[in-house]
Structure formats: C-alpha cells, structure tokens
C-alpha cells in the first residue's frame, strides 16, 4: 500500500500540471502562437530548402569529380598530342555534357592553361573566358577545387563555375563546369510549391540569381529590397539568431524573411564579393483561423488529459503494485530456502515477463542447488576414492607378488593352480573397477579434432556386432546423408556411443531391434540410440547416470556415469526417454563444429586424420 500511495502522489502533479500551464498556454497561443508558428515553419522550410539546394551543388561537384576520374580523360591529359586516347576523352565528356542539361559549359584545360576540349550551350563569346580569370585558374591549381561567385553572362544567363584539379604524379589539368543557376530556381519551385511560400536566392552583392516567386507582387517586392544591405547586416550579426524580418513599404501585406545559406562556398582564400549566398522567403501576412478556435479545443483537450492521467494512474497502480506484492512474498520465500514458488502474474506486459523470468530463476536455482550438492558429494567421494584406490593398489601389488611366487612353486598340472588363476582374475577385475572409478572422478582429457558424426556412428556399430549376433538383435543405422560434424575426441565419443549401443542390445530380448541415428538441428548435432526393450522405470531413470547404479546383475554402474562426464566435457548433454515395456531412447546432444575452431583437422569415424583427403 505504501508504494501505491507513492505512485498516486507522484501522479498528482501530472494531473495538476495542465491546470498550472493553462495561463501560460493562453498567453502563448493567443498572443504569440501565430507569429511563432509562422516563424518556425519558415525556419524549417528554409533549412530543408537550403539542405536540398546543397544537394544540388554537391551533386554537381560529384559529377565533376566523377568526370575527372575517367581514365580516358586522364590518359588524354598525360600526353594530349602523342597519346591516342583523345577520341575516348572527348566522347566521355560529350556524353556527360549531353546527359546533364542544367550544365551550360564544360571545358578541359591542360597543365599549361591551354584549352583542350570545350562543350557549351552558351552564346559565342559568353563562355568561361568572361567568368574565369587567371587568378581564379591559379586558385584552382592551389586548392584543388573552387566554386566561383555567381556571374551574369552577356545573354542574360546566370552561372556559377565549378573547377576540379586533375593530378597524377604531377599536375595534369583542370576541368571547368558552368552550372546554370536556373537549376536552383527549378528546385525551389518543387520544394515550396505546397507551402504557399515564395523564395529567391541572392548573393552578398544583392544579385538575385534564382527565384520561385508566386506572382507580380512578390517580384515587385524583391525588386524594391536592398538585398546587398540586408546581406551586409546579416554578415555582421555574430549572434546569427535565426531569420530576420525585413518588411518594406513596397511589400505591403507580405512578410520577407532572409536566411543565411552558409556552406555553399568552399575556398581557402579570403571571401570575395558574391561568394556568400542567402535565401529569401516571402509569405502573405494573414491571421490564422485556428487561433480563434484554439481556446475551446484547448479546454476540451485539458479535460481529456486530466481524465487520461487519472485513468493511467489507477491502471498503473493496479498492474504494478499488486504484482510487486506477489514478488515480495516470493522473494521472502526464496530467502528462506523454499524454491518451490507459485508466482502467477497475468498483466500481459513486462511485469508478466519479469514474473516468468523470476520463476525460471527459481527453477534454475533449485537445479543448481541440487547439482551443487551432488558435486560436493562427488568431490568428497572422489577424494576418498583416490586415497582408497591408492591404498588398495599398494596392497594388491603385494598380493600379486605372492601369487606370482606361489605360481612358480606349484606345478603346471597341480589342481590348486585353478584357485590361483581365479584369484588372479578377481584381482584384475577389481583393478579394472578401480580404473573405471578413477576415470569417472577424473576430468576427461580431450584430444579434439573435427569429427564426422555419421562416419563415427557407422564406424562404431560394427564393434557391437558380436554381442548383437549372440542375442539375435538387429542393429540398424538411420543415416540422413548429412555431413554433421562436431569438435571432439573421437575415441571418447566412440566409447560413449558403443556403451549406449551395448546397453541397448543387453536391454532387448532375442529378435529385438536397436536403431542408431545422427541428425543436425540448428547449431547442435544429436545422436539417438533407441531400443524396443523392457524400458526403465521412472524411479530408475533419475538414477541411471549416478555411479554404481545398475539395473543389470554384474554391472559396475559406472558406464553411463562415465559417458555423462565425457559428453559434459564436450559441452553437450545426454538424456533418456523411457517407460516400462515401451523401450528406451538415449539422446546425446553436442554443439556442431563451426568450421574454424578445428583449425583444419578432420577426423573420420575410425579416428583417422582426413584433412588432406
């Protein structure tokens, strides 16, 4: 309840906030809303327009950079007279010029400044010679890329010139491209057509070189503006705080805003006249009808917002605090060591996911606790076993010496020799059991390679043929033809597989059937050994992987325990599904090889290296 009260307390300011903001909203929306909205809209439109116009200019620079990288053009510049690639260079330049109609002039100059190729849509005598000076050409050689101020040519065209230096081991030449500024006007019209705005581009000399004006009033307004003075004022404004309103007597009923269009010019020299560009925006001075109806809409929205906040606070408290109380009880239960929790939360959101994760955590903690207890027991048994094994082996060594002494003292045909042989076999069996016991408690040492599971299965099944024939049991291999591979020790994996097959053969009656199948699913490879034998009871299934547990008379009870250790050392798992009278199915799951971790080593089913096959 305390948390619920806090939530409601925190939500109250959210409920009261709209009422406190009403006065500010009234002032803002009724006094400044129209002007601020108009200004923000113009700022956004101007920013987007400038960005799009920059794209036009960047596109032209990219075209120029692309053209200067044409091999034919570069080869032509290396030795324009001796080299035979002049036709290729002219063809490339002509195709480029014809496919870009908004370029007015394209020229190629050599390292000595001599013109090598020229293509133009301009009237004769109004080409680059009238807009490019020797100083401009020299600046290109130094900086590598120069854009000239906008110039008006003799035929009324307004053009800005872009140049790119072409260099190899030494300077080769300069490509000159004259960009028709009408392209900017076309772009302005497409950008501002739906905004109800007129726009024009001008430079710091006051020349308008591109425009998208709605009609004669806008044209007259622009003609009467002192754009050079406005540009000078903006350049001197270090604050640069947004657009500047510039109302004029000739612009009655209209609002003119001027925005700096910086970053159009790239130069390492002092700015020249005409290099700074500006965007002018004209809109009609009108009062928005939305302002008059805003008060009603605002009050309705305020009431709806208050109701929504109250509803949200209630739902939030119901969906969060109630489940958290359940979490609190469950946490206290876990803290007491009781991991059998019942935490049911049905909220349909992240809280329900958290509850599911908490339940999973409790289950994993319970499993981990069981494994930890088991590991502690096994560790204690392992230490004890190691000590006992050592002592037993010492004593068996002494017994073996006495047996050898007695064996040398007794004649070959003495009937007592049978007792000695029986003792010897018993000692050997006892030593084998000790070796298996040590193997279970010792972490397996793996000699890894890339193992083809299909070949491993096919190579292991024949080892069980003798036992299967004795009982009349059929052992079959289900091969899906896949080349499933794992990184592992082939000998240890074969011992696991053989142990499972022999156990299956032992479990079925005469005429029974054992099947072995290898399959790959996703990132894992599985090997299944299934039989139609007597099956395993539910109580025994939980213990078959424990050491010294066996359902067969004479079994050591270590085979499956050792197999489980080997599979775990490979990063895999082994499981069993069985029911009394319904047969058994053991499944070994191993991570599939990723192809790199084996470092080129490949091992077939017989443990042989196949990397050079």
The residue count of the chain comes to 613
The DSSP element (H or E) to which 479 belongs, if any, is strand 474-479
- pLDDT, greater one: 78 or 404: 78
> What is the pairing mode between strands 573-578 and 474-479?
unpaired
CA distance 392 to 202: 104
Reported as a single tens digit per residue, the pLDDT across 132-141 is: 667 777 778 8
Contact criterion met (CB below 8 Å) for 236 and 267: no
Contact criterion met (CB below 8 Å) for 587 and 574: yes
pLDDT, residue 509, reads 86
Contact criterion met (CB below 8 Å) for 402 and 410: no
CA distance 433 to 447: 24
**The pLDDT of residue 122 is above 60:** yes
**The pLDDT of residue 29 is above 50:** yes
Give the distance from CA 581 to its chain's centroid: 51
Contact criterion met (CB below 8 Å) for 271 and 139: no
What mean pLDDT comes out for the span 328-337?
76
DSSP result, 502-546: HHHHHHSPTT-EEEEEEEEETTEEEEEEEE-SS---HHHHTTTTS
What mean pLDDT comes out for the span 504-525?
86
Give the pLDDT band (50/70/90) at residue 94. very high
> For residue 479, which of 524, 525, 516, 526 has the smallest C-alpha distance?
516
Give the pLDDT band (50/70/90) at residue 612. very low
Going from the C-alpha of 194 to that of each of 24, 45, 188, 189, 190, the distances in angstroms are 32, 11, 11, 9, 8
Using CB atoms within 10 A of its CB, is residue 76 exposed (0-12), middle (13-18) or buried (19+)?
buried
What mean pLDDT comes out for the span 198-209?
87
Lowest-confidence region among 90-104, 434-448, 473-487: 434-448
- For residue 401, the tally of other CB atoms under 10 A from its CB is 10
Reported as a single tens digit per residue, the pLDDT across 411-432 is: 777 777 777 777 777 777 666 6
What mean pLDDT comes out for the span 206-219?
85
Lowest-confidence region among 44-58, 93-107, 348-362: 348-362
Contact criterion met (CB below 8 Å) for 237 and 252: no
Give the distance from CA 372 to its chain's centroid: 37
Lowest-confidence region among 27-41, 193-207, 267-281, 582-596: 27-41
**The pLDDT of residue 104 is above 50:** yes
Lowest-confidence region among 43-52, 208-217, 435-444, 477-486: 435-444
DSSP result, 159-210: EEEEEEEEESSSEEEEEEEEEETHHHHHHHHHHHGGGT-EEEEEETT--EEE
What mean pLDDT comes out for the span 78-93?
77
Give the pLDDT band (50/70/90) at residue 453. confident
CA distance 593 to 240: 63
What mean pLDDT comes out for the span 309-317?
68
Q: What percent of the chain has pLDDT over 70?
A: 69
pLDDT, residue 601, reads 38
Lowest-confidence region among 18-32, 44-58, 163-177: 18-32
Contact criterion met (CB below 8 Å) for 526 and 471: no
**The pLDDT of residue 61 is above 60:** yes
* Residue pointed to by tokens 């037993």: 392
pLDDT, residue 275, reads 77
What long-range pairs does 221-225 form, CB within 8 A, spacing at least 24? 221/248, 221/250, 221/251, 221/254, 221/256, 221/282, 222/280, 222/282, 223/250, 224/248, 224/249, 224/250, 224/251, 225/251, 225/256, 225/280
CA distance 150 to 146: 13
Query: Facing residues of 592 across strands?
Result: 486
pLDDT, residue 600, reads 35
- Give the pTM: 0.43
What long-range pairs does 342-350 form, CB within 8 A, spacing at least 24? 347/319, 347/323, 349/319
- Residue 581, CA atoms < 13 Å, CB-side half-sphere: 0
- 3-class secondary-structure state, position 337: coil
- pLDDT, greater one: 265 or 395: 395
Give the distance from CA 178 to its chain's centroid: 45
Contact criterion met (CB below 8 Å) for 76 and 116: yes
- 3-class secondary-structure state, position 121: coil
* Residue pointed to by tokens 């005429």: 511
Domains of the chain, earliest start first: 2-181 (3.30.450.20), 183-284 (3.30.450), 350-441 (1.10.287), 449-603 (3.30.565.10)
Mean pLDDT of the chain: 75
Reported as a single tens digit per residue, the pLDDT across 334-365 is: 777 777 777 777 766 676 777 778 778 877 78
403 sits in the region (left: phi over 0; alpha: psi -120 to 50; else beta) called: alpha
Give the pLDDT band (50/70/90) at residue 156. confident
What mean pLDDT comes out for the span 300-316?
70
- pLDDT, greater one: 189 or 30: 189
pLDDT, residue 499, reads 86
Lowest-confidence region among 269-283, 506-520, 524-538: 269-283
Contact criterion met (CB below 8 Å) for 520 and 592: yes
Q: What percent of the chain has pLDDT over 90?
A: 2
């Amino acid at each position: 309840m305390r948390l619920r009260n806090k939530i409601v307390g925190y939500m109250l300011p959210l409920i009261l906030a709209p009422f406190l903001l009403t006065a500010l909203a009234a002032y803002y929306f009724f006094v400044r809303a129209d002007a601020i909205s108009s200004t923000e809209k113009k700022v956004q439109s101007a920013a987007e327009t400038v960005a799009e116009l920059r794209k036009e200019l960047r596109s032209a620079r990219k075209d120029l950079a692309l053209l200067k990288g044409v091999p034919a053009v570069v080869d032509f510049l290396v030795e324009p007279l001796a080299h035979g690639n002049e036709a290729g260079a002219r063809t490339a330049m002509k195709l480029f010029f014809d496919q870009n109609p908004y370029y007015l002039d394209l020229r190629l100059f050599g390292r000595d400044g001599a013109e090598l190729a020229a293509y133009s849509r301009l009237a004769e005598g109004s080409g680059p010679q009238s807009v490019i000076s020797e100083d401009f050409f020299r600046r290109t050689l130094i900086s590598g890329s120069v854009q000239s101020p906008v110039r008006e040519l003799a035929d009324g065209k307004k053009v800005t010139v872009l140049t790119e230096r072409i260099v190899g081991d030494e300077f080769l030449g300069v490509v000159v491209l004259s960009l028709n500024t009408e392209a900017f006007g076309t772009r302005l019209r497409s950008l501002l057509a739906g905004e109800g705005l007129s726009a024009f581009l001008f430079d710091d000399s006051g020349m308008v070189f591109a425009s998208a004006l709605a009609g004669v009033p806008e044209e007259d307004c622009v003609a009467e503006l002192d754009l050079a003075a406005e540009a000078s004022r903006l350049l001197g404004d270090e604050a640069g705080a947004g657009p500047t309103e510039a109302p004029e007597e000739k612009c009655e009923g209209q609002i003119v805003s001027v925005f700096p269009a910086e970053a159009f010019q790239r130069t390492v020299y002092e700015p020249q006249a005409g290099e700074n560009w500006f965007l002018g925006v004209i809109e009609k001075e009108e009062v928005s009808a939305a302002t008059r109806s805003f008060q009603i809409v605002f009050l309705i929205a305020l009431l709806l917002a208050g109701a929504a906040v109250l509803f949200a606070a209630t739902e939030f408290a119901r969906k969060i605090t109630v489940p958290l109380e359940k979490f609190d009880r469950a946490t206290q239960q876990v803290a007491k060591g009781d991991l059998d929790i019942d935490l049911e939360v049905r909220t349909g959101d992240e809280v329900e996911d958290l509850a599911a994760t908490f339940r999973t955590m409790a289950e994993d903690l319970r499993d981990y606790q069981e494994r930890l207890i088991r590991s502690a027991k096994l560790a204690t048994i392992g230490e004890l076993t190691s000590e006992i094994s050592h002592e037993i082996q010492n004593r068996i060594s002494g017994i073996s010496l006495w047996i050898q002494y007695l064996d040398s003292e007794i004649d070959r045909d003495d009937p007592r020799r049978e007792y000695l042989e029986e003792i010897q076999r018993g000692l050997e069996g006892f030593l084998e059991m000790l070796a298996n016991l040590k193997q279970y408690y010792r972490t397996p040492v793996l000699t890894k390679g890339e193992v083809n599971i299909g070949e491993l299965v096919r190579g292991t099944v024949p080892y069980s043929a003798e036992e299967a024939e004795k009982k009349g049991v059929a052992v079959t291999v289900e091969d899906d033809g896949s080349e499933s591979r794992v990184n592992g020790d082939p000998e240890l994996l074969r011992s696991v597989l053989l142990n499972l097959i022999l156990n299956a053969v032992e479990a079925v009656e005469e005429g029974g059937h054992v099947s072995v199948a290898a399959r790959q699913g996703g990132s894992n490879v599985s090997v299944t050994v299934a039989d139609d034998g007597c099956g395993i009871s539910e109580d025994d299934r939980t213990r078959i992987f424990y050491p010294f547990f066996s359902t067969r008379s004479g079994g050591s009870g270590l085979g499956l325990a050792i197999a489980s250790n080997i599979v775990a050392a490979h990063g895999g798992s082994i499981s069993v599904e069985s029911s009394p009278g319904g047969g058994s199915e053991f499944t070994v799951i191993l991570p599939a090889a990723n192809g790199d971790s084996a470092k080129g080593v490949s091992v077939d089913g017989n443990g042989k290296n196949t990397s050079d096959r």
